[in-house]
Amino acid sequence: MKARRVVRQGLAALAVCVVAAAPAAAQNAAPARHGRVVTDSLWSYALGTWKKAVVYLPPSYDRSRDRYPVAYYLHGLSGNETNWVKAGHIDVVADSLMARGMREMVIVMPDGDDSWWMTASSLPDVPGCVRTLPSYAGPAETYCVPWPHYDDYVAYDLVRFIDGKYRTRADRAHRGIAGLSMGGYGALMFSLQYPQLFAAAASHSGVVWPLEWAPDGIVARPAESVDSSWKRVRAGGVGQSMRAVFGKDTSAWYSRDPVHMLDRSKARNAPLPAMKADVGTSDPFLAGNRAFRDALKARGVALEYTEYPGAHDWKFWNGHVGESLGWLAKQMAR
């Protein structure tokens, strides 16, 4: 319990910095009530299995009949639905921010396995997946899914489930999405692939320039890219995971690239989301984030982009999740 108090105190102090400009009345408010974290399960028709989602309900949820905006937070590679609470303490940060005037919201954290949050290029070998199940993956029946349509799972199954069960404001203007690493890619991808669903997207340390992991010849990679030791890294890790989902076809890689998704959205006059990205200056995906930033600037598309000291780790994400929460709350209040 003592360690828990120390974590709460430290993260509360961080949250104060994020909302330093909050109204004086909010700063002097009565001691905050805490939100409530629940774990829910839903059947996904897109995946053909049951999936779990952790849901944060804001402090006033059980005392009112109000409806709330929803922020979806996606985990990274080898993560699961519990990461943002257990490792990121997003509930503690949200409590502190809301106590100091930030608009209350529901936060939904789904399980996306190692899917890159999209439909895989081919059907999986389910028996082979079961035999080689990673130690972190959890039950084989939920990780080795028969139909790997993870984008449809989130955009249709999960969103409908959340809007049907919880008191949400079920429209684009009051729905945002964020994530870290693989989840940062997923957040931007969802906001561009499903413009009718998400008004804003935020990426922490996102793999937002996925073409640097593509097979040879698809694209010139950014200077100082993560592939600087390409012959060594392409056989495993992020590259192996991504190529298992994206496949080998050039058009498949381009169709899943956020910049090309943006170009398609603009071509059909689809509404563009508000977008935010941050990355650590010691992060291996720094060059890719800069390439993404420059591509959006060249297209005249706004991106709130920030680099901070830090690496690709929970210390960085703990330190900046309050900023994405506050930013999403503002975007959904418009």
pLDDT tens for each residue of 249-269: 888 888 999 999 999 999 999
pLDDT at residue 216 in the model: 67
pLDDT tens for each residue of 199-215: 999 999 999 998 887 77
Lowest mean pLDDT across 14-28, 83-97, 122-136, 291-305 = 14-28
- DSSP H or E segment with residue 280: strand 274-280
pLDDT tens for each residue of 21-33: 444 444 444 455 8
pLDDT at residue 222 in the model: 62
Q: With bands split at pLDDT 50, 70 and 90, how would you rate the model's confidence at 305?
A: very high
Measured distance CA(225)–CA(320) in Å, rounded: 24
Give the number of other Cβ atoms within 10 Å of residue 129's Cβ.
18
b vs e for 206-240, b when ≥16 Cβ sit within 10 Å of the residue's Cβ?
bbbbbbbbbeeebbebbeebbbeeeeebbeeebbe
Architecture category of domain 2-331 in CATH: 3-Layer(aba) Sandwich (3.40)
Q: What is the DSSP string of 92-133?
A: HHHHHHHHTTPPP-EEEEE--TTSTTSB-SS---HHHHHHT-
pLDDT tens for each residue of 142-182: 999 999 999 999 999 999 999 999 999 999 999 999 999 99
pLDDT at residue 17 in the model: 46
Q: With bands split at pLDDT 50, 70 and 90, how would you rate the model's confidence at 122?
A: confident
Q: How far is CA 185 from CA 128, 170, 206, 300, 315, in A?
A: 27, 23, 5, 20, 19
Q: How far is CA 27 from CA 24, 36, 279, in A?
A: 5, 22, 30
pLDDT tens for each residue of 12-57: 444 444 444 444 444 444 455 899 999 999 999 999 999 999 999 9
**Is the separation of the CB atoms in 258 and 192 below 8 Å?**
yes
Measured distance CA(92)–CA(34) in Å, rounded: 8
Q: Is the dihedral of CA 171, 188, 106, 40 positive or negative?
A: positive
Tell me the average pLDDT of the chain: 87
Which residues have CB under 8 Å from 30's CB, separation 6+?
none
**Is the separation of the CB atoms in 244 and 277 below 8 Å?**
no
